[in-house]
Structure 1
Amino acid sequence: MDWLHGCGVEAVRYLQTHYGHRRDWFVLASRSAELRYTFFIFFPIWFHLRETTGIKLIWVAAVGDCLNLVLKWVFFGQRPYWWVHETSFYDSTAVPQIQQFPITCETGPGSPSGHAMAAASIYYVMVSSLSTELQLGRQLSVKDRCLWGLLWTMFWGLQACICLSRVFLAAHFPHQVIAGVLSGLLVAQSSSRVLWIYSASLRQYLVTTLLLFSVTLGLYLLLKALGVDLLWTVEKARRWCVQPDWVHIDTMPFSSLARNLGTLAGLGLALNCPLYWESCREKHSCGAPFRLGCILASLGLLHLIDSLQLPTQTESLYYLLSFCKSATVPLTSVAIVPYCLSCLLRSCSKKVE
């Protein structure tokens, strides 16, 4: 593995040396793969345009990220920014100098890449849904074939950009981002065969949330009982990150777990909430102006929710508040906003009459 890691470090150095002036572009590409954009932007847009796609996005994001956490605990992947300082692969005088950035110092294991896995699964779902909505690939016209090819070329181009950005930032080795992409595609493809999620009851949502929590926590406790420290990477991040304030609590393994489980539980509550069913019965809920209003209002409110800063002094309190904050995202988009907008339109229609 040292040889593979060494080649990866050379790839990091090459990108930083020859494309260092594109630093902002690489940072932007990396941030585009963060799941917060799925929850706070993509989900409300897709849910009000095509409800099944919105639901699928949450399931793929939440379950896929939990799977990514488990895989990281199993594979014990290193990260370039600390590996170069601890390996015996180099002589003491020949240790490569690689740069770090504010989003380099993630605290979890490196393999497979969570950003690459999330981007592959989420964008695959969106491009597939868009192709289906536009009925591309079913007709033989040249225009449809070109549009279909353009969509998937953009998809793979984006995956390449995200993978290169993670390597440039010294957050991952090349083989880790490739593994992330393949894992993400596997999650997205597998989700296409799971149809019960579109009609799942609140009980099924809560059972799934509890199951994911139990499996993840059970694996953590089992390995800890066997003497395996699954938080070994946190110490490495704090030791080798050049700026202590670049080590963020929201990159901790259990932080992503709380965020994903909260979002999934919140979606279950929202879809089985009386507010949601009442707004669905309104005649306005099928109209384009109503959907557009829901999208704009949801994006505005979710931006305010996203801007809320959680206290980080106590980890357990942070995880609890992160769970609650994440649960409010689908509740706001699915139930609260459509219901309030529906009541407003009903009130206006009564005044007109």
Structure 2
Amino acid sequence: GSFLAPALCIYVSDPYIWKYGTGASDTGRALLWHVICALLTIAISVVTYFSLKICGIDPQWTVQMAFRWCESPDDIHVSTTPMFALVQTTASLLGWALCVTPAVAQYRHYTRNRSLILSAFSTAIILYIFKHAQDNINRSNAFCFYLLQFLLNALKPALLLRLAPAIAMWPYATQTKLKTK
């Protein structure tokens, strides 16, 4: 993991985000490539999970070990299970693939006209609403729980990478329109 993440950043996302290298101007193709890679990762995760089930290996064996050896099993939370981590990371990867574009880099590095106060406030509100929504998901049906977790975690990058910057630049929207005219 510690090698894969920097390698993905350097060789996959950086040329696309910073627009250097071959095919840097083809945003649609790069977006499609990121989505295909994210979907492939999700497919590999699902195949691995069900392969373990077919082979008779319980993918949730760590949860059983936690209940056996934990001094207070009531403190074990669903968010510490391997399945939750799998759902959360693959959904975030898909959300990132759909939302990270050169516009994100331009906002982050080349935009002076933004309100840091609005950005911080909107980010805090988004994270609060996200946490509240996550805490209120019904846990009685495992499939619905993980599906809703997947949808929420896929939506989170869109909220943080697209909505929060749009809110932060909102007070300056009229100035930008006047400069372009």
The Cα shift of 1:297 comes to 3.4
Aligned to 2:82: 253
The answer to whether the Cα contact below 8 Å between 1:205 and 1:264 also exists between their aligned partners in 2 is no
Structure 2: 5+ residue stretches without partners: 17-26
Please identify the structure whose Cα radius of gyration is greater.
1
Q: Which amino acid aligns with 1:187?
A: L
Aligned to 2:7: 190
The Cα shift of 1:216 comes to 1.9
Q: Displaced runs of 4+ in structure 1, greater than 3 A?
A: 187-192, 347-351
SS in 2 for 1:242: coil
Identity of matched residues, %: 23
Take 2:176 and 2:62, find their aligned partners in 1: how far apart are those partners? 59
Structure 1: 5+ residue stretches without partners: 1-63, 65-183
The TM-score, its normalising length taken from structure 2, stands at: 0.70
Give runs of aligned pairs for residues 30-69 of structure 1, distance below 5 A. Answer: 64=1
Take 2:70 and 2:176, find their aligned partners in 1: how far apart are those partners? 59
Take 1:350 and 1:225, find their aligned partners in 2: how far apart are those partners? 59
The Cα shift of 1:233 comes to 2.4
Aligned to 1:331: 158
The TM-score, its normalising length taken from structure 1, stands at: 0.39
Aligned to 1:265: 94
The Cα shift of 1:251 comes to 1.2
Take 2:177 and 2:45, find their aligned partners in 1: how far apart are those partners? 52
1:291–1:348 Cα change, 3 Å:
closer
Quick check: 1:236 aligned with 2:65? yes
1:346–1:217 Cα change, 3 Å:
closer
Take 2:77 and 2:87, find their aligned partners in 1: how far apart are those partners? 15
The Cα shift of 1:345 comes to 1.7
User: What is the CA RMSD across the aligned residues, in angstroms?
Assistant: 3.3
The Cα shift of 1:255 comes to 0.6
Aligned to 1:321: 148
- Equivalenced residue count is 161
